[in-house]
């Protein structure tokens, strides 16, 4: 198996992160991989917001927790120090597909650099809310963006779970 296939097959979601920050060099490589995802008609509809500031990271976590309906004190980002938020331009017909591919590139690039990751949901609700709109405004981001997903990044605090067995009939040859 070559390195690319190994990376794709060994990536697993991390649900317990160390507080250690991901090195800027690695973060830049992961982000760059995200920007090279395929997009419908090459329109590059997604954008990525890289959150490393702890205060902002905690505010986003709190919003996500409330949307998810979890009890106070729960961190839906499992302690990850970095959150990469992928949003995509609603005016592009393929924007959700485009954003999902960016998410995949981010997670797989992270895996290739031994950085742990997980997709955390509810970005749509977050950026449809006043909290998200205010954040985009504060960052000077204009346009009609839909939240696609958060890629939480960091170093795993414990070994990652083994993958679930692949279901039968996943693939049909025709």
Ligand X SMILES: Cc1cc2nc3c(=O)[nH]c(=O)nc-3n(C[C@H](O)[C@H](O)[C@H](O)COP(=O)(O)O)c2cc1C
**Does 86 contact ligand X by CB under 6 A?**
no
* Nearest to ligand X of 43, 121 (CB atom): 121
* d(C-alpha 74, C-alpha 61), whole Å: 9
**Does 120 contact ligand X by CB under 6 A?**
yes
Q: Which stretch binds ligand X (CB under 6 A): 12-20, 35-43, 124-132, 139-147?
A: 12-20
Six-digit token string for 144: 């009609």
Edge-to-edge strand ranges of the sheet holding 46-51: 46-51, 82-89, 145-154, 116-120
Of 8, 12, 44, 62, the residue at the interface with ligand X (CB under 6 A) is: 12
Contact 120, 77 (CB under 8 A): yes
* Nearest to ligand X of 28, 68 (CB atom): 68
To ligand X, the closest distance from the beta carbon of 163 in angstroms equals: 6
* d(C-alpha 170, C-alpha 127), whole Å: 33
**Does 163 contact ligand X by CB under 6 A?**
yes
DSSP H helices, the chain, are 3-10, 24-35, 54-68, 95-112, 123-128, 130-138
**Does 13 contact ligand X by CB under 6 A?**
yes
To ligand X, the closest distance from the beta carbon of 142 in angstroms equals: 27
* Nearest to ligand X of 14, 33 (CB atom): 14
Binding site for ligand X (CB under 6 A): 12-13, 15, 118-121, 163
């Amino acid at each position: 198996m070559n390195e690319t296939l190994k990376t794709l097959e060994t990536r697993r979601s991390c649900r317990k992160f160390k507080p250690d920050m991901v090195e800027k060099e690695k973060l830049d490589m992961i982000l760059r991989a995200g920007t090279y995802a395929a997009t419908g008609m090459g329109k590059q509809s997604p954008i990525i917001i890289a959150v490393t500031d702890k205060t902002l990271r905690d505010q986003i976590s709190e919003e996500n927790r409330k949307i998810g309906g979890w009890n106070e004190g729960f961190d839906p980002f499992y302690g990850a120090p970095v959150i990469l938020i992928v949003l995509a331009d609603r005016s592009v017909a393929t924007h959700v597909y485009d954003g999902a591919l960016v998410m995949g590139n981010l997670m797989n690039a992270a895996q290739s650099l031994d950085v742990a990751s997980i997709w955390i949901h509810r970005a749509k609700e977050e950026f449809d809310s006043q909290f998200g709109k205010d954040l985009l405004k504060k960052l000077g981001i204009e346009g009609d963006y839909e939240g696609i997903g958060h890629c939480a990044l960091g170093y795993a605090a414990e070994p990652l779970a083994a993958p679930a067995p692949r279901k039968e009939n996943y693939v049909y040859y025709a």
